Structure 1
Amino acid sequence: MATLEECRAAIGKVSERIAELDPAERRKHIVERTVAITVTDVDTVFDMRLTADGMQDITEREPGESAQRAQVGVTLASDDLVALAEDRLDAGKALLGGRVKLDASFSDLMRLRRLL
């Protein structure tokens, strides 16, 4: 099980990876969305905004705390979050295998697919 600090670092890596993309590609594929990442084994939800500049306004809360519903929801274990961020886990296989659960509109899923 990854620590909470490792989960924070993993989200930072994903944000850095987004920032490294060509600006034209980012504008083409990233539409600003609110995102909630629920990390089941550390009982934490990371709320943030996905922007063309990466993840912004990252906050943490307990799963039971009320919050505005995010446009994109991701649920996974801490080890899977870290493995995805480090490219050790294929996002498509993780989704199909049930290790990662996404709650998003069809158009958001298609955009995310291009980024993952």
Structure 2
Amino acid sequence: MATIEECRAALDQLSGNLARAGEGVRSATALDRSLSCHITDLDQTFTGRLEGGRIRVDAVAPGPPRAKAEIRLAMTGDDLVSMVGGELNFARAWAGGRVRLEAGFRDLLRLRALL
């Protein structure tokens, strides 16, 4: 089982990957939205913002998200680490119910480039 430190490192790596990505991905993530990522097996939630094509983590707190972020993710720590490491495909994990992504319709349309 992934630790909270490994999950934080995976989110930092994902942020770096987004910042270095091609134009299509960068434009899809060029949003300014609140973000939460609930790590279900650890029952911890990272909160922050997706802004300028990067993820900024502001806090981590026990339990599910306390406030409704504009973009909400939920998954196990192992799935987060595997996705960022390239071993798990996000689209397949999402379609299979291993990852939950909730956002407004317009945001989902923009984020589809990541799938």
TM-score by length of 2: 0.88
* Unaligned runs of at least 5 residues, structure 2: none
3-state DSSP of counterpart to 1:49: strand
* Unaligned runs of at least 5 residues, structure 1: none
Q: Please name the residue that 1:37 is paired with.
A: 37
Tell me the matched-pair count: 114
Instruction: Check whether the contact 2:37–2:73 (CA below 8 A) recurs between aligned residues.
Output: yes
Query: How is 1:1-116 mapped onto 2 (pairs within 5 angstroms)?
Result: 1-22=1-22, 26=26, 28-29=27-28, 30-63=30-63, 66=66, 68-116=67-115
Matches of 2:33 and 2:78, distance apart in 1 = 24
TM-score by length of 1: 0.88
Give the Å deviation of 1:113: 1.9
Instruction: Check whether the contact 1:50–1:56 (CA below 8 A) recurs between aligned residues.
Output: yes
Specify whether residues 111 and 53 from structure 1 end up closer, same or farther in structure 2 by C-alpha distance, changes over 3 A only: closer
Give the Å deviation of 1:52: 1.6
Give the Å deviation of 1:23: 6.3
